[in-house]
């Protein structure tokens, strides 16, 4: 959610950002400018009326002190109070209307976000590692995993339906090993506090992080209980401080959690239908930061580096992409994607998105901090995958595969495997 005053004072900033995103609507522009004009006019009228009323009140006081008749002066301000009340009611309606519009608006893009029309316009920031050169035709992770009987997609479908899966033996152990590697790295080296959070959250939580109302079709909901299965631990972690005021001296607060994540994958039919790339339930380690307004850009870069450190430990080749204006999420102001190389699929695949939301989520969730000057300011929130575990497992299998259909275990994982 955006700053209403900022929108009304400079609607062109929002219009520019919407056009850059490809989300511009003439109706939105008209409504915002109409409300801005009307509010300015009403506030000025109310201010003039209050000034007139105050002036007359002083005159009445003087006349009374002098024992003079106040009838004529009193009649001159009759109805002023009623008109002021009418204006206040009208302003309240305008603000409610603007709030309804505002809650559906995307975040204002950071000025460094490149303009683009699709993921093809994302900008390469850097690459890391050497893409393996196999002397044989590399296989996809699902073919390797099924042949080794460590993945069972067929029974996953039997249990739950399409895009569900099961692990067996080494597959299950490697998922757990990757989880432990990620948590140990982020808590032991990268400065995050580990947390354990619910995977069912209320509508207030989903609204604060931006899933509601716009993306209600993208997640699973338990209507009877008014609860929602989390699409990512971003939701409970960010809402941990909802409606609270933090101390600036405690910032940044860096937390992480391992959770299952649930996504309907609406609109993705026909894409990545096999394997672990696009499924309805998966495990992920999520990173979340609460920062001051001044430090969020620096902390964003650090979080990106923290997510990269896992791939570097596993010696998996990857690239970092700065998302363009059309490919970035609605709630984010700036996002980097980390894409790992998948030799079996013969392409890079997104394994982490690291985003700076600035005060967009904090305004929805009323998450503030008291500055050194004693002012209550909105925090900036950041989050990133650190990493998606299933996709990391798929990347390990494909990059470490051998010609005989097996694969090697990365050195960083060996101590976590019995």
| 177, part of any domain | yes
| Residues 328 and 403 both lie in one domain | yes
Q: How confident is the model at residue 176 (pLDDT cuts 50, 70, 90)?
A: very high
- 167, 153 in Cβ contact below 8 A? no
Q: What is the DSSP letter of 339?
A: E
212-263 residue pLDDT tens: 988 889 999 999 999 999 999 999 999 999 999 999 999 999 999 999 999 9
Tell me what percent of the residues of the chain surpass a pLDDT of 70. 99
Q: Which domain holds residue 93?
A: 4-102
| Residues 193 and 91 both lie in one domain | no
| Residues 72 and 123 both lie in one domain | no
Virtual CA dihedral for 59, 63, 69, 74, nearest 10 degrees? 20
**Span 274-291, average pLDDT:** 95
| Residues 217 and 242 both lie in one domain | yes
| Residues 207 and 279 both lie in one domain | yes
Rounded to an integer, what distance in angstroms lies between the CA atom of residue 158 and that of residue 341? 31
| Residues 200 and 289 both lie in one domain | yes
- 224, 198 in Cβ contact below 8 A? no
Cis bond upstream, residue 85 (ω within 30): no
Domain boundary among 67, 102, 137: 102
| 75 or 141, higher pLDDT | 141
| Residues 13 and 162 both lie in one domain | no
* pLDDT over threshold 70, residue 398: yes
Domain boundary among 102, 132, 155: 102
DSSP annotation string for 227-290: EEE-SSTHHHHHHTTTT-EEEGGGPSEEEEEEEEEE---TT-TTSS-STTSS-SEEEEEEEEEE
Q: Does the annotation flag 265 for ligand binding?
A: yes
Q: Does the annotation flag 407 for ligand binding?
A: no
Q: Per the structure, how many domains does the chain have?
A: 2
CATH number, domain with residue 74: 1.10.287.40
CATH number, domain with residue 135: 3.30.930.10
| Residues 42 and 149 both lie in one domain | no
Q: Does the annotation flag 232 for ligand binding?
A: yes
Rounded to an integer, what distance in angstroms lies between the CA atom of residue 234 and that of residue 238? 6
The whole-number pLDDT of residue 220 equals: 96
**Span 265-288, average pLDDT:** 84
* pLDDT over threshold 70, residue 271: no
Q: Does the annotation flag 280 for ligand binding?
A: yes
* pLDDT over threshold 70, residue 270: no
The whole-number pLDDT of residue 330 equals: 95
**Range of lowest pLDDT (35-44, 161-170, 339-348):** 35-44
Q: Does the annotation flag 75 for ligand binding?
A: no
Q: Does the annotation flag 92 for ligand binding?
A: no
Q: Using alpha carbons, select from 216, 161, 219, 150 the residue that is nearest to residue 390.
A: 150
Domain boundary among 44, 67, 102: 102
| 111, part of any domain | no
| 113, part of any domain | no
The whole-number pLDDT of residue 145 equals: 98
Provide the 10 A C-beta neighbour count for residue 182: 29
Q: Does the annotation flag 233 for ligand binding?
A: yes
Rounded to an integer, what distance in angstroms lies between the CA atom of residue 153 and that of residue 158? 9
Rounded to an integer, what distance in angstroms lies between the CA atom of residue 354 and that of residue 335? 6
Q: Does the annotation flag 53 for ligand binding?
A: no
301-317 residue pLDDT tens: 999 999 999 999 999 99
| 136, part of any domain | yes
| Residues 275 and 168 both lie in one domain | yes
77-109 residue pLDDT tens: 778 888 889 999 998 888 888 888 888 899 999
| 161, part of any domain | yes
| 91 or 267, higher pLDDT | 91
Q: Mean pLDDT in the chain?
A: 94
- 13, 6 in Cβ contact below 8 A? yes
**Span 176-188, average pLDDT:** 98
| 114, part of any domain | no
Residue with tokens 């509601």, as numbered in its chain = 212
| Residues 27 and 164 both lie in one domain | no
pTM of the full structure: 0.90
18-41 residue pLDDT tens: 999 999 888 888 888 888 788 889
The whole-number pLDDT of residue 308 equals: 98
The whole-number pLDDT of residue 60 equals: 81
Q: Does the annotation flag 228 for ligand binding?
A: no
List CB contacts of 177: < 8 A, sequence separation 6 or more.
Answer: 413, 416, 417
| 18, part of any domain | yes
Q: Does the annotation flag 5 for ligand binding?
A: no
| Residues 272 and 377 both lie in one domain | yes
* pLDDT over threshold 70, residue 345: yes
* pLDDT over threshold 80, residue 269: no
The whole-number pLDDT of residue 150 equals: 98
Q: Does the annotation flag 351 for ligand binding?
A: yes
| Residues 94 and 146 both lie in one domain | no
Q: Does the annotation flag 279 for ligand binding?
A: yes
* pLDDT over threshold 80, residue 366: yes
Helix residue ranges, H only, 66-209: 71-76, 80-102, 141-147, 153-160, 170-188, 203-209
- 340, 314 in Cβ contact below 8 A? no
Q: Does the annotation flag 383 for ligand binding?
A: yes
- 327, 353 in Cβ contact below 8 A? no
């Amino acid at each position: 959610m955006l700053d209403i005053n900022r929108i009304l004072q400079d609607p062109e900033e929002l219009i520019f950002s919407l056009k850059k995103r490809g989300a511009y609507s003439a109706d939105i522009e008209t409504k915002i400018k109409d409300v801005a004009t009307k509010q300015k006019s009403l506030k000025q009228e109310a201010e003039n009326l209050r000034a007139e009323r105050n002036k007359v009140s002083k005159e009445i006081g003087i006349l009374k002190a002098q024992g003079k008749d106040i009838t004529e002066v009193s009649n001159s301000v009759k109805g002023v109070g009623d008109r002021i009340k009418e204006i206040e009611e009208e302003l309240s309606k305008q603000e409610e209307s603007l709030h309804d519009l505002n809650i559906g608006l995307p975040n204002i893009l950071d000025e460094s976000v490149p303009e683009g029309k699709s993921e093809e316009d994302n900008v390469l920031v850097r690459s890391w590692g050497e893409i393996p050169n196999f002397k044989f035709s590399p296989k996809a992770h699902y073919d390797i995993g099924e042949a080794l009987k460590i993945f069972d997609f067929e029974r996953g479908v039997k249990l739950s339906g399409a895009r569900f899966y099961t692990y067996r033996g080494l597959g299950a152990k490697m998922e757990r090993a990757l989880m432990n590697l990620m948590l140990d790295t982020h808590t032991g080296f990268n400065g995050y506090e580990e947390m354990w959070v619910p995977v069912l959250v209320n509508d207030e939580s989903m609204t604060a992080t931006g899933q509601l109302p716009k993306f209600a079709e993208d997640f699973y909901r338990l209507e009877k209980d008014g609860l929602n299965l989390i699409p990512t631990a971003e939701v409970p972690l960010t809402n941990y401080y909802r409606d609270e005021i933090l101390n600036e001296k405690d910032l940044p607060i860096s937390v992480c959690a391992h959770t299952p994540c649930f996504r309907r994958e609406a609109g993705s039919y026909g894409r990545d239908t096999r394997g672990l790339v696009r499924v309805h339930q998966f495990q992920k380690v999520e990173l979340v930061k609460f920062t001051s307004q001044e430090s969020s850009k620096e902390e964003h870069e650090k979080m990106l580096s923290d997510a990269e450190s896992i791939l570097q430990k596993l010696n998996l080749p990857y690239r970092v992409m700065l998302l363009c204006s059309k490919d970035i999420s609605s709630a984010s102001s700036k996002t980097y994607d980390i894409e790992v190389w998948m030799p079996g699929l013969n392409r890079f695949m997104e394994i982490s998105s690291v985003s700076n939301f600035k005060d967009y989520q904090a305004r929805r969730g009323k998450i503030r901090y008291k500055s050194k000057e004693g002012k209550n300011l909105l925090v900036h929130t950041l989050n990133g995958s650190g990493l998606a575990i299933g996709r990391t497992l798929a990347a390990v299998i494909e990059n470490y595969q051998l010609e005989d259909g097996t694969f090697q275990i990365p050195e960083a994982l060996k101590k976590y495997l019995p």
